[in-house]
Amino acid sequence: MFKWKKLFKRLGVGVCGVFAASVLFAGCGGGDGDSKSGNPEVLKVGVTNFADTLEPTQNYFGWVVMRYGLGECLTKFDEKMNIQPWLAEKWEVSDDKLTWTFKIRDNVKFSNGTPLTAEAVKNSIERAFAKNTRAATFFEYESMTADGQNLIIKTKKPLPGMPGYLADPLFIIVDTTAEPARDFSKEGPICTGPYVVESFVKERAVMKRNENYWDGQVPYATVEIPSIDDPNTRAMALQSGDVDVAVNIAAGDIDIFKNDADKFHIDEIASLRVVLARLNQNPDHILSDKKVREALICGCDRETYNDVLLRKTFIPGKAPVPPSLDYGFDQLKDPNAYNPERAAKLLDEAGWKDSDGDGIRDKDGKNLSLDFVVYNSRAELPLYAEAVQSDLKKLGFDIKINTVDYNLIDGMGIKGEYDLLISNITTANTGDPEIFLTWYWKSNGDGSNPQNGSGYSNPAYDAKLEQLSSEFDAANRRQLIIELQQILLDDAASLFFGYPQTNIINAKYVDGVVMYPSDYYWITKLIRPAK
Amino acid sequence: MIEVFKKNRLFAIYSAGVVLILLVAIFAPYLAPQDPFDGNMRNVLQPPSAEHLLGTDKLGRDTLSRIIAGTQVSLFMTICLVILLAIVGSVVGITSGYFGGKVEMVLMRLADMMLAFPGVVLAIAIAGILGGSVVNTILALLVVGWAKYARLVRSLVIKLRNNDFIIAAQVNGTKTINILWRHILPNILPMVVITGAMDIGTMMMEIAGLSFLGFGAQPPTPEWGLMLNEGRQYIQTAPWLMIYPGAAIFIVVATFNLWGDSLRDVLDPRQQ
């Protein structure tokens, strides 16, 4: 017994010492001199992966199927978010705007050799509708028919966003005839991309060249994709040459690579994402009072958060849609820009006063105490939360940070189990912000819009959304989207923190690595060994 | 008392260290040069300088002030935990040791079950389910740790139970509660105190470990394990955010371990 105790104790001291020492060394080591020239047959990419399986219709796992170079859609977005042909070589819409005809490419084969026909595409899209209710939130069709290489989709109402909807990874085209012989969720789906699955677990995927690829030679025989969830570890893996490419290097580490421009290439772009805090406005919640919401928003010094704390890797937030998309960012007026004096006044007006002198405002015996739900897998989220906590404390808010696992966030958002809930959301997964503006703020009175668990509801907003959903004219759409955003700002509907830049960094012996704003395409056939 | 220190030079030195740490913890609010919670967000991640001796963290808060404030948090949590462990362990141990029979069997099988689990893993699970907070961390480690004390106390009580002075007390008709309080407890107390003192370092490490993993103290509490975790993101660009909290843990845990060892040497005559 005593021996054990001693050993444990010594171990305690030892581990602590080793830890301190390793920190010292890690701090001093520059890590040069061990650069590898790269294996021209094997590509190693450090990523973050949230998918448990490669079934494209499960949750958002389709994103991963596409990012890993396995799945492709009928259409895709280019670097400027314009819609480009992919598996469909062209499309047109009838004069009454209700019938879409997509012409599927002739020369495409699935990785198992089956030729891609309109019939196969139809089956695949029907499969997505059958397996995931999210499909119907994009569009609903009256009929879908296959005619040779032509896919004809008829809709009940005009849907201007159709080509963009079909670029969503939920609609990745899979070979449905391969089922049930192959279990897609275990072995990965049969798709048309440049690489096929050799093995997949959440932590590590190995991809092989697709010998039947339709669009030219595939550069690498093997792609190894370890999922390195911790951003610092990912940066170090890239520094040490354990991976050749890494996505989303954090603000704290990106300077290391900028200072080593001979060895690393950085592709950093403004993403389409926004980091926001949903504010729970359901009755009985403190934030159902608009004055408190306004005070909360204008008590947050968002410029400092983004410019200083995050070192300009984020653009300071104001509106729902980031400035990288042309939806009137500069003409939108934020009534709740940073102004702590006004925030204090608003709280006084709303009846929140610090009557017991503990530094926290209260009203009717209840403290101004809010539950802020965050998750950690993105480095900036806890930082925003703590900065908000610190700023709002000066105003007499008591913000309790509740860190939960990422997988719980979606459910908590839907059920409304929060006062503030942080999210990092893409605003234009179908090419424009319509879906984003619908999911998170359209009234959910009858439970028809579960993503909006915040209780926000404004009939004027809903009416404009309805108008937007059947508007084909681009200029009118833009105007509607600007007006929608202004309503959200005036209602203090959510707290928009900032818009992330996103990056992908590669060692210079690899070429063709590009970060797309849509964030769907990481491993493409364009990535190849540098000459 | 002074004689004890004279006879045990090392014990005197370690005790002085412990007293120093306790003083820092008690007077932390006065010793911290700046507010450990409120920083200047325009002044983040500054390297050590005359103004900020140990630099500033990601929200512009003074690292030195946070480490000093952290002494209070860490020591308070650790000492609470150890005292609770000793109390719960003693109560269970005395009950099962003195009364024996079915009570003993149930309690000791329960203790065996707890001892069979890997402690830290179970603590992580419990803290994870309860949600991260200072109280829940202490609870989690208490649930995991009591069995060791209960076992120890039970074995001591069984040895005592059949001594003549206990039997004499029983024959005289002394109330059971008085026997336990006046005769049993004083005899087992030194052993419990020694074990507790030697556990302080280990428990401090475990608390810091849970906080490091996000299951303990929550931001913005200046807790050392939590500070290590926060600094981890800047390990390459701002290493002082990990080095100094790490050094604080190292120094305090080492001091308490050495002190616990020498306290045993002083209190336990068999070791001399």
Contact assignment for B39 to A390 by CB distance below 8 Å: yes
In A70-133, beta strands by DSSP E: 75-77, 83-85, 88-93, 99-104
Neighbours of A527 (CB within 10 A): 23
In A358-509, beta strands by DSSP E: 362-363, 366-367, 369-374, 398-403, 420-426, 494-507
What's residue A74's pLDDT?
A: 96
Q: Please list every residue in chain A whose beta carbon sits closer than 8 Å to the beta carbon of residue B214.
A: 376, 403
Contact assignment for B219 to A401 by CB distance below 8 Å: yes
The structure tokens listed for A368 are 């101004």
Rg (CA), chain B: 22
Give the pLDDT band of residue A294 (cuts 50, 70, 90).
Answer: very high
Q: Please list every residue in chain B whose beta carbon sits closer than 8 Å to the beta carbon of residue A385.
A: 219
Rg (CA), chain A: 25
Each residue's pLDDT expressed in tens, for chain B with a length of 272 residues: 777 788 888 899 999 999 999 999 999 999 988 888 888 888 888 889 888 889 898 888 999 999 999 999 999 999 999 999 999 999 999 999 999 889 999 999 999 988 888 888 888 888 888 887 889 999 999 999 999 999 999 999 999 988 899 899 989 988 989 999 989 999 999 889 999 999 999 999 999 999 998 888 888 889 999 999 888 888 888 899 999 999 999 999 999 999 999 988 888 766 55
Residue A252 in contact with partner chain B when CB distance is under 8 A: yes
CB A245 within 8 A of CB A48: no
* CA-based nearest residue in chain A for residue B129: A404
Give the pLDDT band of residue A94 (cuts 50, 70, 90).
Answer: very high
Res. A399: pLDDT tops 70: yes
Contact assignment for A255 to B232 by CB distance below 8 Å: no
Q: With H, G, I as helix, E, B as strand and everything else as coil, classify residue A374.
A: strand
Q: If we measure between CA atoms, which residue out of A101, A491, A466 comes closest to residue A279?
A: A491
Element (H, E) at B216: none
**Residue reference for tokens 């977005």:** A77
What's residue A446's pLDDT?
A: 79
C-alpha to C-alpha distance for A115 and A412, rounded to whole angstroms: 43
- Averaged over A40-61, what is the pLDDT? 92
C-alpha to C-alpha distance for A436 and A432, rounded to whole angstroms: 8
Res. A2: pLDDT tops 80: no
The structure tokens listed for A101 are 């005809």
- Averaged over A179-202, what is the pLDDT? 92
Q: Which tens digit of pLDDT belongs to each residue from B228-253?
A: 988 888 888 889 999 999 999 999 99
Q: Could you tell me which residues of chain B have a Cβ less than 8 Å from any Cβ in chain A? A: 37-39, 41-42, 44, 58-59, 131-132, 198, 201-202, 205, 214, 218-220, 232-239, 242-243, 246-247, 249-250, 253-254, 257, 260
What's residue A34's pLDDT?
A: 40
Residue A201, classified by CB atoms within 10 Å of its CB into exposed (0-12), middle (13-18) or buried (19+), is exposed
Residue B215, classified by CB atoms within 10 Å of its CB into exposed (0-12), middle (13-18) or buried (19+), is buried
C-alpha to C-alpha distance for A211 and A223, rounded to whole angstroms: 14
Residue type, A227: S
- Averaged over A14-30, what is the pLDDT? 45
Within 13 Å, how many C-alpha atoms sit on residue A88's CB side?
29
Q: If we measure between CA atoms, which residue out of B209, B224, B214 comes closest to residue B128?
A: B214
What's residue A28's pLDDT?
A: 42
Task: For B176-196, give one letter per residue: b (16+ CB within 10 A) or e.
Answer: eeebbeebbeeebeebbebbb
C-alpha to C-alpha distance for A269 and A106, rounded to whole angstroms: 34
ipTM above 0.85, yes or no: no
Q: With H, G, I as helix, E, B as strand and everything else as coil, classify residue A524.
A: coil
Q: Which tens digit of pLDDT belongs to each residue from A459-479?
A: 999 999 999 988 888 899 999
What's residue B270's pLDDT?
A: 65
What's residue A27's pLDDT?
A: 41
Q: With H, G, I as helix, E, B as strand and everything else as coil, classify residue A124.
A: helix
Please give the model's pTM, rounded to 2 decimal places.
0.77
C-alpha to C-alpha distance for A502 and A522, rounded to whole angstroms: 12
Contact assignment for A231 to B233 by CB distance below 8 Å: yes
- Averaged over A486-502, what is the pLDDT? 94
SS (H, E, C) A4-43: HHHHHHHHHHHHHHHHHHHHHHHHHCCCCCCCCCCCCCEE
Taking all residues of chain A, what is their mean pLDDT, rounded to a whole number? 89
Res. A277: pLDDT tops 60: yes
CB A325 within 8 A of CB A270: no
Contacts of A107 (CB under 8 A, 6+ apart): A214
Widest pairwise Cα distance in chain A: 87
Residue A445 in contact with partner chain B when CB distance is under 8 A: no
Contacts of B255 (CB under 8 A, 6+ apart): B14, B17, B18, B21
- Averaged over A242-266, what is the pLDDT? 90
Neighbours of A331 (CB within 10 A): 10
Give the pLDDT band of residue A221 (cuts 50, 70, 90).
Answer: very high
* CA-based nearest residue in chain A for residue B232: A232
What's residue A35's pLDDT?
A: 43
Contact assignment for A301 to B219 by CB distance below 8 Å: no
Residue A475 in contact with partner chain B when CB distance is under 8 A: no
What's residue B271's pLDDT?
A: 55
Minimal Cβ distance to B205: which of A16, A305, A401 = A16
**Residue reference for tokens 């209602």:** A491
Residue A20 in contact with partner chain B when CB distance is under 8 A: yes
Give the pLDDT band of residue A80 (cuts 50, 70, 90).
Answer: confident
Q: Label the pairing between strands A245-247 and A42-46.
A: parallel
Q: Is the dihedral of CA A466, A471, A474, A475 positive or negative?
A: negative
Give the pLDDT band of residue A37 (cuts 50, 70, 90).
Answer: low
B79 beta partners:
none
What's residue A376's pLDDT?
A: 78
Contact assignment for B220 to A386 by CB distance below 8 Å: yes
The nearest CA of chain A is from the CA of B173 a distance in Å of: 37
Residue % of chain B over a pLDDT of 90? 53
Taking CB atoms within 8 Å and a gap of at least 24, the contacts of B1-6 are B4/B266
What's residue B192's pLDDT?
A: 92
Report how far Cα A56 is from the mean position of its chain's Cα atoms.
16
Contact assignment for B243 to A255 by CB distance below 8 Å: no
C-alpha to C-alpha distance for B211 and A100, rounded to whole angstroms: 56
Residue A291, classified by CB atoms within 10 Å of its CB into exposed (0-12), middle (13-18) or buried (19+), is middle
Minimal Cβ distance to B41: which of A236, A376, A387 = A387
A124 beta partners:
none
Report how far Cα B44 is from the mean position of its chain's Cα atoms.
33
The structure tokens listed for A42 are 């094997």
Q: With H, G, I as helix, E, B as strand and everything else as coil, classify residue A160.
A: coil
